[in-house]
């Protein structure tokens, strides 16, 4: 007769409540690899999160998109450039744009990511602070496609002032921070 270990008796929802306290994505990944039940607990913990920040983490398109896709209730996403070389690109934004949480997002910050261009911008509503490869065309496509967009931070981009004025003509209620 096989005896069940004490840890195996924990229900998945309790495991999820424990894993939601983890701040390290490395620890979450390791917990996810313990067994199927723990993997389910990690996934459920991600589904509970409303805020997700990758500040200080070395992330790539694949790992970032995978985590965001499990965060069904996400409303705020923060992916800044870091000294550990965050490598999020347009391809990652495209993958993130298919996540179930995208319609709930009220804030997306991609501060200083050089791998982001117009192609990625049109996928999401974004804080574009210091994204120097985003052009007027990308901003116009973003404002044109995201009818519910309420604010946009374009500080540090190379977009001229007349572009900002034209965006406000296109969407007068839009708050643009420069």
Give 100's pLDDT tier (boundaries 50, 70, 90).
Answer: confident
Q: 31 phi and psi, to 5 degrees? A: -65, -40
Q: What is the pLDDT of residues 46-91, one digit of tens each?
A: 999 999 998 888 888 999 999 999 999 998 899 887 766 678 889 9
Q: Does the domain at residues 50-177 carry the CATH identifier 3.80.10.10?
A: yes
Q: What is the pLDDT of residues 137-175, one digit of tens each?
A: 989 988 887 776 777 888 888 889 999 999 999 989 888
Sign of the dihedral defined by the CA atoms of residues 53, 56, 58, 61, in that order: positive
Q: Which of 25, 20, 74 is nearest to 44 (CA)?
A: 20
108 CB-near residues (< 8 Å, 6+ apart): 76, 77, 78, 79, 124, 125, 126, 127
How many angstroms separate the CA atoms of 28 and 53, rounded?
A: 14
Give percent of the chain with pLDDT exceeding 70. Answer: 95
Domain 8-48, what fold?
Monooxygenase (1.20.1280)
Tally of residues, the chain = 178
* Higher local confidence (pLDDT), 20 or 104: 20
Domain boundaries, the chain: 8-48, 50-177
13 CB-near residues (< 8 Å, 6+ apart): 44
Contacts of 24-32 spanning 24+ positions with Cβ under 8 A: 25/54, 25/57, 25/59, 25/63, 25/67
pLDDT for residue 146? 76
How many angstroms separate the CA atoms of 55 and 103, rounded?
A: 23
Q: Is the pLDDT of residue 1 over 60?
A: no
Extended beta strands in the chain, E state: 51-53, 76-78, 107-109, 151-153, 175-177
């Amino acid at each position: 007769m096989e005896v069940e270990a004490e840890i195996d008796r924990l229900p998945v929802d309790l495991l999820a409540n424990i894993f939601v306290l983890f701040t390290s994505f490395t620890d979450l990944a390791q917990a996810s690899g313990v067994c199927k039940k723990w993997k389910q607990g990690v996934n459920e913990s991600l589904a509970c999160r409303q805020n997700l920040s990758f500040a200080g983490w070395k992330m790539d398109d694949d790992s970032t998109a995978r985590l965001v896709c499990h965060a069904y209730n996400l409303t705020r996403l923060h992916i800044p450039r870091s000294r550990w070389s965050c490598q999020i690109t347009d391809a990652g934004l495209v993958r993130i744009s298919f996540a179930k949480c995208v319609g709930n997002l009220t804030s997306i910050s991609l501060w200083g990511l050089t791998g982001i261009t117009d192609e990625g911008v049109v996928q999401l509503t974004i804080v574009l602070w210091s994204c120097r490869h985003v052009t007027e065309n990308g901003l116009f496509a973003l404002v044109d496609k995201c009818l519910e967009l309420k604010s946009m931070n374009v500080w540090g981009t190379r977009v001229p002032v007349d572009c900002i004025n034209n965006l406000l003509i296109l969407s007068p209620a839009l708050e643009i921070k420069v």
